[in-house]
Structure 1
Amino acid sequence: MVAQEFTVDLDKPLVFQVGHLGEAYEEWVHQPIVGREGPRFFESDFMESLTRTVWWAIPSIWLPVICYFVLKSVRMGHTLPEVALIVVGGVFIWTLLEYTLHRFLFHIKTKSYWGNTMHYLLHGCHHKHPMDGLRLVFPPAATAILLVPFWNMVKLFSTPSTTPALFGGGLLGYVIYDCTHYYLHHGQPANDVPKNLKKYHMNHHFRVQDKGFGITSSLWDRVFGTFPPSKAAKKI
């Protein structure tokens, strides 16, 4: 794979290679390699281990955290029905955040060395190797860091007693998103709803990569006009 006289060697760690592609990175990263075995990212075994996460680590780590925050709002005086409604609101907020991040951050166009490198780590690797099962969910350490600004954002438009449950709902939305994302790549749905969602997401990977940014649903794609053309959304 040659771009601007630079060849990416897929048998060597990729992260510090892709930046050299320059303007050709955008085309290269959106030519998927379909295979369950993912590439090596780093020479260091420790750094490499930080990039690999089994899917079940996400609910195992974050569901207890969600319960803690939800119960915190209960202890602060809210009834269970009230807390349930707040949590649903948090999940809904996440769906918009999911769409926004995927569209405007994960699909940002880069051409500088470090821009390409950071994009590859964030999302480009997923488009290049979409079936890499150990890089389909977000590493918990990175999630923990990002939860700090998310908590501060939630505090801006909620009361002290509703903030924990709203935050927990947003985190629950994230867990649903990551588990759904893994299932869409590696699951074999038998019912129409998950089947259609899988086709919708695979369409984003293999046909129309600049549309179809929703993962858990196509709601915001329809709202913001990024729903892919019907012809492109047919059977994959």
Structure 2
Amino acid sequence: MKPNHKGQAQLFKNPVLERMTRTHIALPISIFLIIATGLLYYGITHSFINVLEALGLFFLGWFIFTLIEYLAHRYIFHMNTDTPVKARLQYTVHGNHHDYPKDKKRLAMPPIISLLYASIFFFVFKLIFGQFVFGVVAGILFGYASYLAVHYIVHAYAPPKNFLKYLWIYHGIHHYKDSETYYGVSSPLWDFILGTTDKKNK
């Protein structure tokens, strides 16, 4: 199916489930910015981390998120659809976005699902980083909020006349030329490192 600039995919026959797949972008961005701020505040005020540690850990978490974003987009959102179940899952999670890239209500994961993932990430990274988890996960959640903002802006607005235009170009290549390139949305860093840039169109 060719990308459609208008309309929406119907993912579920159940109207309640269908409604839950649509999210105003401001809601998840606000939620995760608030949580990220709360984690930093809690970590500092309860002496788990100091201000300098919080700053360094925050940027480490943000950097980690860029890799999570890349890997999730490449290997989960664009999974091999070699079975009907996987094909259905991939379309529900991401394929519908490629068919209807201008559907503004499906540019973010429903908050209830993303909050569940965020909780899992917190406990996993707590095992890895211990008390430093407050700074790291704050950076990861800020990275996710930034990704949501960039993804929404790239799809909803015309590209600016500055260096940020490259984000529009990269994501446009992914959507309209070759969906196996430029998996990074908020940053093309890992595409350059791991060789998934659009080499043939350069």
- TM-score, normalization: structure 1? 0.80
Distance 1:34 1:83 in 2: 44
Q: How does 1:89-100 map to 2 (within 5 A)?
A: 89-100=60-71
Distance 1:139 1:69 in 2: 21
Deviations 1:20-41 (A, max 9, x none): xxxxxxxxxxx33322321222
Residue aligning to 2:201: 232
SS at match of 1:211: coil
Matched positions, count: 201
Distance 2:60 2:79 in 1: 28
Structure richer in helix, relative to its length? 2
User: Displacement, 1:164?
Assistant: 1.4
Q: How does 1:156-167 map to 2 (within 5 A)?
A: 156-160=127-131, 162-167=132-137
Residue aligning to 2:21: 51
User: Displacement, 1:199?
Assistant: 1.0
Deviations 1:59-85 (A, max 9, x none): 222222111111111023233232122
- Does the CA-based 8 Å contact 1:52-1:139 persist in structure 2? yes
- Does the CA-based 8 Å contact 2:173-2:181 persist in structure 1? no
- Does the CA-based 8 Å contact 1:208-1:232 persist in structure 2? no
- Does the CA-based 8 Å contact 1:136-1:182 persist in structure 2? yes
Pair 1:214-2:193 in alignment? no
- Amino acid aligned to 2:60: G
Of the candidates 114, 121, 126, which is equivalent to residue 155 of structure 1?
126
Report which of the two structures shows the higher radius of gyration computed on alpha carbons. Answer: 1
User: Displacement, 1:125?
Assistant: 0.9
- Does the CA-based 8 Å contact 1:137-1:179 persist in structure 2? no
Q: State the percentage of identical aligned residues.
A: 29
Residue aligning to 1:130: 101
Greater RCO (CA < 8 Å, at least 6 residues apart): 2
- Does the CA-based 8 Å contact 1:91-1:169 persist in structure 2? yes
Give the gaps of 5 or more residues in structure 2: none
- Does the CA-based 8 Å contact 1:70-1:165 persist in structure 2? yes
